[in-house]
């Protein structure tokens, strides 16, 4: 077990390069902000 | 830039930008990351020889090399298929069903509802044409969205009711699914309207600015009287009637309430759990945010993040839109790079049926795209917006937050820089601060859960 580093997530953006892009997700500015764009907190529909 | 590190709330955090991996590290590793580039172990050992024991440094370097091998550190820039450069599909419409409002909010980008034009209501016919427009232009996509917006959309409930019935009928006929949202100031949110919105599964975005004095200062009625008492009563009742689900209580903070964390917490203290409070976007006004305000605003986000965690721990948690971050199953890279979709995937429709890149561009005549009756006539602008993605903006391409923010708001970039490729600086700074808080929060919650 690592002594100095703890990785807290299993994210791999690379893996979504080939699986993503379906476009079924919600528009990022549409739900709760309407004044600032944020995509990091969107939910994938897949 | 491939690595970003920051210290927040007692945690040393290293983000591997291109994989999205988040590492919580000790102080020694944090220091080493100032020198380590993935292959210069000897340089690291020499640089920290007087500060840390050699055996410890070697241990850290070993762990760092394991992460590199696992593609979780110094991951190279992604080769991304530009799915967003293909044929544009419209998947989201903002219907301005009323260009009129019963409030006179000081910071309203819509010019208190009229968007610089005559006050007017969208007819049922235009609403139908808009729905047909999105059905036709969304191609094979199943999921689409319509937001009933204004001005104040509850001032035109006849059209809202008609449009909802029409959408639901067309869903059955076309196989498409529409997520419906309504953004309201809450003044006309009576029992009858609330029942309709609940019965039709319409998400609500409810405006409230937090503490009464803050709210009333910016959100008065036409006669100048504050709207807080009426709005709060209506919105709380509506939220309870839908079991505290399917809504956001949304506020705007300005230079008049730089201590906005108190407003977020005031909203939480009212018993509401789905909260979003945003910085005002304004030029040259007494309430506009400036770069001088940033240190105070950063401190507010830090404070809010601490209280957010405390309340989560003691069972009084709330959700804050900008702290929501799914660090394991977030959106795909294509989505992250393509941004908000304004101008090609997302359009706004005026009461007359005119199409604009988004609700904030309405009234900026050089951005008129066409009309729902005969479609988009200005085909150059959608292409320009589609190409204005993160990788095509110089400042965004090198920014550590490039996979989280979507490249910022085009309307704000145009407002401040007259160029949708040049992001609005204050917006960027606040966005990055919010992301640091969000990453820290998720790291803390993960560590505390023992996963």
Contact A23 B94 (CB under 8 A): no
Q: Chain-centre distance of CA B240, in angstroms?
A: 25
Distance from CA of A29 to the nearest CA of B (A): 6
Tell me if the pTM is above 0.90: yes
- Specify the length of chain A in residues: 46
Out of B94, B250, B339, whose CB is closest to A32? B250
**Average pLDDT for chain A:** 76
pLDDT reported for residue B108: 87
pLDDT of residue B12 exceeding 80, the answer is: yes
Contact A9 B321 (CB under 8 A): no
pLDDT reported for residue A35: 56
- Which chain A residues are Cβ-neighbours of B447 within 8 angstroms? 6, 8
Cα–Cα distance, B350 to B355 (Å, whole number): 7
pLDDT band at B109 (very low <50, low <70, confident <90, very high): confident
Out of B81, B276, B407, whose CB is closest to A17? B81
pLDDT tens digits, one per residue of B114-145: 777 778 999 999 999 999 999 999 999 999 99
Cα–Cα distance, B210 to B228 (Å, whole number): 9
Cα–Cα distance, B6 to B2 (Å, whole number): 14
Cβ pairs A/B, distance under 8 A? 222
Its sign, for the CA torsion A29, A33, A37, A42, is negative
pLDDT tens digits, one per residue of B197-206: 999 999 999 9
Its sign, for the CA torsion B171, A30, B108, B415, is negative
Residue of chain B whose alpha carbon sits nearest to that of A16: B332
Assess B92–A contact: CB distance below 8 Å, yes or no.
Answer: yes
pLDDT tens digits, one per residue of B368-417: 999 999 999 998 999 999 889 888 999 999 999 999 988 889 999 999 99
Contact predicate B45/B58, CB 8 Å: yes
pLDDT band at A36 (very low <50, low <70, confident <90, very high): low
pLDDT band at B428 (very low <50, low <70, confident <90, very high): very high
pLDDT reported for residue B80: 66
pLDDT band at A33 (very low <50, low <70, confident <90, very high): low
pLDDT reported for residue A40: 67
Contact B325 A41 (CB under 8 A): yes
pLDDT reported for residue B299: 98
Contact A36 B279 (CB under 8 A): yes
Out of A7, A22, A30, whose CB is closest to B147? A30
Assess B409–A contact: CB distance below 8 Å, yes or no.
Answer: yes
Out of B18, B181, B327, whose CB is closest to A9? B327
pLDDT of residue B443 exceeding 80, the answer is: yes
Contact A4 B89 (CB under 8 A): no
pLDDT of residue B88 exceeding 60, the answer is: yes
Quick one: which of B66, B344, B419 has its CA closest to A3? Answer: B66
- Tell me how crowded residue B139 is: count the other CB atoms within 10 A of its CB: 12
**ipTM of the predicted structure?**
0.91
pLDDT reported for residue B84: 53
pLDDT reported for residue B374: 94
pLDDT reported for residue B203: 93
Contact predicate B382/B88, CB 8 Å: yes
Assess B18–A contact: CB distance below 8 Å, yes or no.
Answer: yes
pLDDT reported for residue B442: 96
pLDDT of residue B248 exceeding 80, the answer is: yes
């Amino acid at each position: 077990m690592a002594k100095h580093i703890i990785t807290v997530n299993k994210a791999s953006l690379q893996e979504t390069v080939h699986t993503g892009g379906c476009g079924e997700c919600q528009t990022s500015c549409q739900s709760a902000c309407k004044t600032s764009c944020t995509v990091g907190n969107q939910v994938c529909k897949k | 830039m491939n690595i970003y590190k920051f210290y927040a709330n007692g945690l040393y955090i290293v983000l591997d930008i291109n994989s999205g991996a988040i590492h919580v590290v000790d102080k020694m590793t944090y220091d080493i990351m100032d020198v380590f580039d993935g292959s210069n172990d000897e340089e690291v050992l020499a640089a920290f020889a007087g500060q840390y024991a050699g055996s410890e440094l070697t241990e850290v370097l070993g762990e760092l090399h394991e992460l590199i091998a696992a593609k979780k550190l110094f991951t190279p820039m992604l080769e991304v298929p530009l799915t967003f450069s293909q044929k544009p599909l419209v998947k989201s419409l903002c219907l301005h069903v009323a260009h009129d409002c019963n409030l006179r909010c000081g910071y309203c980008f819509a010019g208190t509802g009229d968007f610089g034009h005559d006050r007017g209501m969208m007819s049922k016919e235009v609403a139908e044409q808009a729905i047909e427009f999105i059905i036709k232009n969304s191609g094979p996509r199943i999921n689409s969205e319509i937001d009933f917006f204004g001005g104040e959309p509850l001032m035109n409930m006849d059209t809202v009711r008609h449009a909802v019935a029409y959408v639901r009928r067309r869903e059955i006929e076309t196989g498409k699914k529409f997520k419906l949202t309504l953004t309201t100031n809450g003044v006309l949110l009576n029992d009858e309207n609330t029942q309709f919105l609940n019965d039709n599964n319409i998400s609500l975005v409810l405006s409230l600015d937090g503490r009464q004095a803050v709210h009333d200062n910016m959100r008065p009625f036409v006669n100048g009287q504050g709207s807080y008492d009426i709005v709060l009563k209506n919105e709380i009742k509506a939220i309870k009637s839908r079991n505290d689900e399917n809504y956001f209580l949304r506020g705007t903070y300005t230079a008049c309430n730089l201590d906005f964390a108190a407003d977020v917490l005031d909203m939480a203290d009212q018993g509401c759990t789905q909260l979003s409070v945003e910085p005002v976007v304004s030029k040259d006004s007494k309430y506009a945010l400036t770069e001088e305000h940033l240190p105070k605003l950063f401190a507010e986000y830090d404070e809010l993040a601490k209280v957010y965690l405390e309340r989560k721990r003691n069972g009084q948690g709330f959700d804050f839109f900008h702290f929501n971050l799914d660090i394991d199953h977030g959106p795909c890279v294509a989505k992250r790079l393509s941004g908000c979709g304004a101008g090609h995937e997302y359009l706004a429709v005026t009461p007359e049926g005119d199409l604009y890149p988004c609700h904030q561009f309405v009234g900026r005549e050089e951005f008129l795209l066409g009309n729902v009756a005969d479609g988009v006539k200005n085909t150059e602008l959608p292409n320009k917006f589609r190409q204005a993605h993160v990788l095509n903006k110089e400042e965004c391409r090198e920014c550590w937050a490039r996979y989280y923010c979507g490249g910022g708001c085009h309307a704000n970039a145009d407002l401040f820089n007259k160029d949708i490729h040049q992001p609005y600086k204050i917006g960027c700074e606040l966005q990055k601060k919010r992301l640091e808080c969000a990453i820290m929060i998720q790291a803390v919650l993960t560590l505390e859960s023992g996963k």
